[in-house]
Amino acid sequence: MVPSNRALYFRLLTYVKPYWKVFALAVVGMVGTAATEPVFPAIMKYLLDNGFHTSDARMVWLIPTGIITLFLVRGIFSFCTSYLMTWISTRLVTDLRQQMFAKVLLFPTQTFHDQSAGKLISQFMYDVGNVNEAVTNVLVTAVRESLTAIALFAYLLYLDWKLTLITLVIAPVIALIVRGFGRRMRMASR
């Protein structure tokens, strides 16, 4: 029986546990990235509502400076998150390879006669590489994009709560369609 994706990720998080402080810093970076996400639409709303022509000379400088600062801050948060998650994944890969090597040393000699060295090395590289991919990309994307969705949802509520409620009615239908499509894609890839 193949464990579910959720069970695999919880198992993966147990390997991340020794690096929880660095992971917490990476989550702070993800929160910072997500928190800056609704700021740009707010600035653009101001520009579209008030036009690019304003009599206030201060706003002519304030808005471009705000946009540049926003993207600078978002870039710093994003870089810190990427750097820290790459650091964690590198340590995780080292830990996993050491554990795998310790188990390989306990294999009976016949195993090495039955399987080629290339196949064993391939498993070391490929399987651990998949874990590396899961930590650096999937975990970051899941956390950061969830936080971004929450931040944008809060901004939508602020802008127009009625339109947001209509979106909430339609969103579950879209989620079911995406979920069904995702299952079909997973089945096709196996």
Residue 82: pLDDT over 50: yes
- Whole-prediction pTM: 0.72
CATH number at residue 53: 1.20.1560.10
Q: Are residues 117 and 25 in the same domain?
A: yes
At how many degrees (to 10) do helices 57-105 and 117-133 cross? 150
Q: Are residues 113 and 170 in the same domain?
A: no
Question: What mean pLDDT do residues 118-139 have?
Answer: 77
Residue 183, CA distances (Å) to 75, 127, 178 in order? 34, 22, 9
Distance CA 66, CA 59 (A): 10
Q: Are residues 145 and 78 in the same domain?
A: yes
Q: Are residues 55 and 108 in the same domain?
A: yes
Of the listed ranges 1-5, 97-101, 143-147, 151-155, the least confidently predicted one is 1-5
Q: Residue 56: its pLDDT value, please? A: 72
Distance CA 60, CA 167 (A): 35
Q: Are residues 149 and 177 in the same domain?
A: no
Q: Are residues 147 and 170 in the same domain?
A: no
Distance CA 110, CA 30 (A): 48
Q: Are residues 131 and 188 in the same domain?
A: no
Q: Are residues 83 and 149 in the same domain?
A: yes
Give me the number of domains the chain comprises.
2
Q: Are residues 45 and 126 in the same domain?
A: yes
Q: Are residues 93 and 105 in the same domain?
A: yes
* 94-121 pLDDT per residue, tens: 888 888 888 888 888 887 778 877 877 7
Q: Are residues 172 and 149 in the same domain?
A: no
Range of the domain at 28: 5-159
Q: Are residues 20 and 35 in the same domain?
A: yes
